[in-house]
Amino acid sequence: MRMNLRFFLCPVIGLTLLAGCQTSKPAASSAMRGTLDLAETQAALLLREVPAAQASNPAPAGKPPLVSPRTVDAQGNLVLVASRDWTSGFWPGYLWLLAEATGHDKWQTPARQYMAFIEPEKTNGTTHDMGFKVYCSFGTGYRYTQDAAYKEVILTSARTLSTRFNPAVGAIRSWDHHQDVWGFPVIIDNMLNLELLFSATRLSGDSSFYKIAVQHANTTLKNHFRPDFSTYHVVDYNPGTGAVVTRTTHQGAAPESAWARGQAWALYGYTLMYRETRDPTYLAQAERVAAYLLGHPNLPADGVPYWDFNAPNIPNEPRDASAGALIASALYELSTYSPQAAIYRAQADKTLVSLAQDYTASAGTNRGFLLLHSTGSKPSNSEVDVPLNYADYYFMEALLRQRHLAAGRAVVDGGPVVNGGMRGK
């Protein structure tokens, strides 16, 4: 039975959400207009910073070239990554989203330039991150342009990703590293790579991609979630039998904790599963994950979570703006499917306004990234309280989704983007 989220949440955050329902729509629209100006200023800066960083810190001899900006290090230097890095596609994808949001086609040129560096990944079968790298770049670009060459990259990438599917497990393998530790690891992040497979079915008519995506989602739904609908980060399987070996974490505070970005991946992933299949099981799961997140006593009032909902030193723990952006974007889409639409939109609006007002960089700073205060991997003390390219990507996506909803348009549209942008509309 589906939860009535309205009554589940009201004792905890009802007054906050009521205030959000009364004031959030104008504030969110205003935040978007001002933030787009800042986003263009920052993107122009980052386009200048990348070649300078490539010249001053080239890749070592014999190593692949550094092609995409990922973050800023503790010394304030721009960090670039090779195409094989899981984050490499977010920068060109962000430029496509910026072109859509502003109606300024000038952003297409650098988007195409940086996508070309990512294209070789379409045949890289050593990674599950094909969706992040290829779909967020080529998929976003294809939606904007309907370029047949991009379609072929998507299809090749989907075929490559499919080679990592294990029928005995019923899932796509996530990592190949540390094979002395993992037999067949599957991480909750992998739910986002399924969008590539659904796109491939639409573009080719080949239902094998669709079937793999559904099997992976069903296996994850069965084994990744606790009774309260929080999610484990990693589930390791026996690759021969499909039996669960262990449930643990790699980036969360503890094996039984709720790593914030992992919860966001789950919310986003099962929302997109409902979009692509219309199976009510997936909608119910997305709503349950939303109930867990929005009803959690450790969710800050501004909607931007700490890096882990069970981090030991809350409130003295780093936030994760990337998780906040992901949650906001997912809630906007979920609001179009659920009777709890008003609650989801109010919470997404609140988070979006918080990010725009309190988590954006000043113009000309942050090496050109838009958002501040994300956390990559706190247990490794890696990328803590820094900008991250995927935070900017999902923030821009959330801005677009908010504006689409305000204009009465579909939040997710597989067809071509209408040029002319959204500024001031």
Backbone angles phi, psi at 275, to 5 degrees: -55, -45
Tokens 């399987």 belong to which residue?
Answer: 237
By C-alpha distance, which of 227, 344, 226, 220 is closest to 287? 344
CA 176 to each of CA 92, 172, 182, 229: distance values in angstroms, whole numbers, following the listed order: 26, 11, 8, 27
CA 394 to each of CA 33, 138, 316, 330: distance values in angstroms, whole numbers, following the listed order: 17, 16, 25, 9
Catalytic residue flag (residue 37): no
E runs forming strands in 60-99: 68-72, 78-81
Neighbours of 268 (CB within 10 A): 24
Beta bridge partners of 171: 166
Catalytic residue flag (residue 308): no
By C-alpha distance, which of 200, 175, 215, 195 is closest to 265? 195
Q: What does 280-349 look like in DSSP terms, one character per residue? A: HHHHHHHHHHHHHHHT-TTS-TTS--BSBTT-TTTTSS-B-HHHHHHHHHHHHHHTTTSTTHHHHHHHHH
Per-state percent for the chain, helix, strand, coil, to nearest 5: 55, 10, 35
Look up residue 206 and give its amino acid: D
Q: Is 413 exposed, middle or buried (0-12, 13-18, 19+ CB in 10 A)?
A: exposed
Beta bridge partners of 234: 187, 248
Task: Using DSSP, state whether 261 is helix, strand or coil.
Answer: helix
Q: Which of 37, 147, 189, 392 is catalytic?
A: 189
Beta bridge partners of 308: 259
Q: Are 282 and 267 in contact (CB under 8 A)?
A: no
Task: Using DSSP, state whether 146 is helix, strand or coil.
Answer: coil
Q: Which of 85, 129, 320, 392 is catalytic?
A: 129
CA 415 to each of CA 23, 143, 199, 228, 348: distance values in angstroms, whole numbers, following the listed order: 32, 6, 12, 37, 25
Tokens 């725009």 belong to which residue?
Answer: 356
Q: Pull the structure tokens for residue 285.
A: 């799961």
Catalytic residues: 129, 189
